[in-house]
Amino acid sequence: MSSVLPSEADEPGPTLTRDSVAHLAHLARLELTDAELDLYVDQLSVILHSVAAVSGVVGTKDIEPTSHAVPLTNIFREDVVRPGLSRDAALAGAPSAENGRFRVPQVLGEEQ
Amino acid sequence: MTAELTRLGASALAEAIASGQSSAEEVTRAHLDRIEAVDEAVHAFLHVSTESALDQARAVDRARALGDAPVSRLAGVPLALKDIVVQAGVPATAGSKILEGWIPPYDATVTRRLVEAGVVILGKTNLDEFAMGSSTENSAYGPTRNPWDLSRIPGGSGGGSAAALAAFEAPLAIGTDTGGSIRQPAAVTGTVGTKPTYGGVSRYGVIALASSLDQVGPCARTVLDTALLHEVIAGHDPLDSTSIPQPVPLVVDAVRRGQADGVAGMRIGVVSQLRGKGYQAGVLESFDAAVATLAAAGADIVEVDCPHFEYALAAYYLILPSECSSNLARFDAMRYGLRVGDDGTASAEEVMSRTRGAGFGAEVKRRIILGTYALSAGYYDAYYGSAQKVRTLIKQDFEKAFTAADVLVSPASPVTAFAIGEKVNDPLAMYLNDLATIPGSLAGIPAMSVPSGIASDTGLPVGLQIMGPALGEERIYRVAAAFESAYVAAHHRSVPDAAPELEVGVR
């Protein structure tokens, strides 16, 4: 079925190593188990190989990128105070709160 | 009597309530009873709001007793809300463990408009985690089952909303569509669903997946009911900066026009690239029959060529992961949702990482990693940048096609409902389910799926996709209504009315 996607089977194409997936997961603050890393390296390589064709399609052609389907710019509103959530409502879903504030784990580690 | 109420459509229910033939409370209770009877098997709902639904229904009945005119054409009609749209005080999960137990403190604009229109919200429906998937198998709360065959998927991500309609648990539902999450579930459950023009419905209070693609839309069992719901939820909202400042399209009038006048004189384009390889024989057969029906109803059928659609799936699977990796950064274990590993010594970063590792499912993790890669320095131009250029080429293909045709048609899903588990270990095979719907998503145009019939090879429903130019909702509804009328005239019943009864025994 994957033949429906353009592929670059004859070209070397991008590859993902186990280390690069681990690095990307770290950048995304996503803890992965060894089993997950093993699984995702293969799956992501297949996906990436299929989607990488886009760079070949456009090549160096001068095409204006489309960021949004129906672009709108300069959306303004009156500079007036609008009601927001009360403090209690904002804290109601917090995993931990203390003295009317969000309680978070230490932001700097020991060594920092 | 109550069993019959669940077989009625939204417009018939609204009339029965407005005329006093039934009370809104009676209608709501009938649907709550149906949910209780069949949802253990279907699993369309993640949460049923029994008390607030009955309160809403009683308020409609009280207003009528006081002699007030109905607040909308759908006052008192029950609806199933996809669990990615927030409702104040009702749990919202987006199908993810990372939001388990979260109670949103505010209403989405869509929710507010529904409540103001007297639409009774029955509960929250199941979906693939953060709307990433085409089968609901990526829900952290277990898959939804297709009412046509409980061993099969109901499509995704909005499989819960579509299954609720096909199982007669609700006559109306809300979906969201990023790459096909309204249209593909509608197709495989034999129901109707519309993805409006990008910006046509407010996304304020909708948990974001890919911000340049996400769109909220109406779902029902008939084209008229879908149009009635469309007019309730659509329209400009200053709280969403991508909301289009345009009047609500008059889609209900368009439906009446389609029912009365058909499609005589309309040019309907068949997209060459959206058929053939990857499409099931029974789907193509049903599609060809639908095109013949439209031709017999007076439409001019033209063949249109959209050569860049070939690259739509590739562009989509760069744009979507890129945007979702950024949007899902907000789930950081600090302000709401799950927190794991906060043992007093772990840093905020470690807690964040552990929480996201424990709270997100496999597909979400894959897309976050892919998006992080595509957006990283040195790769941005080659991947995300190129994908946005492909998007331009696809938009241009559509613009050219719409000079030759008023609307475009294709199958909405390349296959009928497949078995639960069949594609779960092959992400790429799963992505191919959105082959026909993704081009329209990338271009931001309105598109809908209406049942085209039952596939002769699987005995399961097939969806006809109808696409229009940006803000061309009225055209697609007209064609959908004309097709639906012709189908019912020829087959003496609609596709959703042929859905299995789901024998539930005597309770």
How much is the ipTM here? 0.92
Chain A residues inside the 8 Å CB shell of B323: none
* DSSP secondary structure letter of residue B385: I
Predicted pLDDT at A13: 64
Q: How far B85 CA lies from chain A's nearest CA (Å)? A: 17
Q: What is the 3-state secondary structure (H, E, C) of B407-458?
A: EEEEECCCCCCCECCCCCCCHHHHHHHHCCCHHHHHHCCCEEEEEEEECCCC
Q: pLDDT (tens digit, 9 = 90+) per residue, B173-192?
A: 999 999 999 999 999 999 99
Q: Which member of B49, B82, B139, B441 is catalytic?
A: B82
Predicted pLDDT at B506: 41
Q: Enumerate the domain spans of chain B.
A: 2-309+392-498, 310-391
The average pLDDT across B311-325 equals 96
Q: How far A58 CA lies from chain B's nearest CA (Å)? A: 6
* Residue A14 pLDDT > 80: no
Predicted pLDDT at A109: 60
Instruction: Note if B376 is an active site residue.
Output: no
Predicted pLDDT at A68: 77
Q: pLDDT (tens digit, 9 = 90+) per residue, B458-479?
A: 999 999 999 999 999 999 999 9
Per-residue confidence band for A2, with pLDDT thresholds at 50, 70 and 90: very low
Choose the closest CB to B443 out of A69, A93, A96: A69
The average pLDDT across B18-27 equals 97
Q: pLDDT (tens digit, 9 = 90+) per residue, B62-86?
A: 999 999 999 999 999 999 999 999 9
Predicted pLDDT at A8: 40
Q: CA end-to-end span of chain A, whole Å? A: 51
Q: pLDDT (tens digit, 9 = 90+) per residue, B227-238?
A: 999 999 999 999
Instruction: Note if B272 is an active site residue.
Output: no
Predicted pLDDT at A58: 84
Q: pLDDT (tens digit, 9 = 90+) per residue, A73-101?
A: 888 889 999 889 999 999 999 999 999 99
The average pLDDT across B297-301 equals 96
* Residue A4 pLDDT > 60: no
Task: For domain B2-309+392-498, give the CATH superfamily.
Answer: Amidase signature (AS) domain (3.90.1300.10)
Chain B residues inside the 8 Å CB shell of A61: 389
Predicted pLDDT at A71: 73
CB contact under 8 A, A25 and B369: yes
C-alpha B297/C-alpha B482 separation (Å) is 8
Predicted pLDDT at A1: 34
B288, burial (CB in 10 Å: exposed 0-12, middle 13-18, buried 19+): middle
Chain A residues inside the 8 Å CB shell of B212: 67-69
Backbone angles phi, psi at A56, to 5 degrees: -70, -35
Chain B residues inside the 8 Å CB shell of A33: 357
Q: What residue in A sits closest to B370 (Cα-Cα)?
A: A44
The identity of residue B109, as a single letter, is T
CB contact under 8 A, A53 and B199: no
Residues in chain A: 112
- Whether A1 and chain B come into contact, CB under 8 Å, resolves to yes
Predicted pLDDT at B3: 66
- Whether A17 and chain B come into contact, CB under 8 Å, resolves to no
* Residue B54 pLDDT > 80: yes
CB contact under 8 A, B241 and A72: yes
Q: How far A19 CA lies from chain B's nearest CA (Å)? A: 13
CB contact under 8 A, B342 and A96: yes
Predicted pLDDT at B161: 98
Share of chain B above pLDDT 70, in %: 99
- Whether A37 and chain B come into contact, CB under 8 Å, resolves to no
- Whether A53 and chain B come into contact, CB under 8 Å, resolves to yes
Q: What residue in A sits closest to B433 (Cα-Cα)?
A: A1
Q: What residue in B sits closest to A59 (Cα-Cα)?
A: B386
Per-residue confidence band for B277, with pLDDT thresholds at 50, 70 and 90: confident
Q: How far B440 CA lies from chain A's nearest CA (Å)? A: 10
C-alpha B98/C-alpha B304 separation (Å) is 45
* Residue B480 pLDDT > 80: yes
Sign of CA dihedral B298, B466, B268, B452: negative
- Whether A89 and chain B come into contact, CB under 8 Å, resolves to yes
Three-class DSSP category at B446: coil
Quick one: fold of A13-59? Histone, subunit A (1.10.20)
Share of chain B above pLDDT 90, in %: 96
Q: pLDDT (tens digit, 9 = 90+) per residue, A23-71?
A: 999 999 999 999 999 999 999 999 999 998 898 888 878 899 998 777 7
Q: pLDDT (tens digit, 9 = 90+) per residue, B143-152?
A: 999 999 999 9
Per-residue confidence band for B504, with pLDDT thresholds at 50, 70 and 90: low
CB contact under 8 A, A89 and B105: yes
What does pLDDT average to over chain B? 96
Instruction: Note if B181 is an active site residue.
Output: yes
C-alpha B121/C-alpha B304 separation (Å) is 42
Q: How far A12 CA lies from chain B's nearest CA (Å)? A: 15
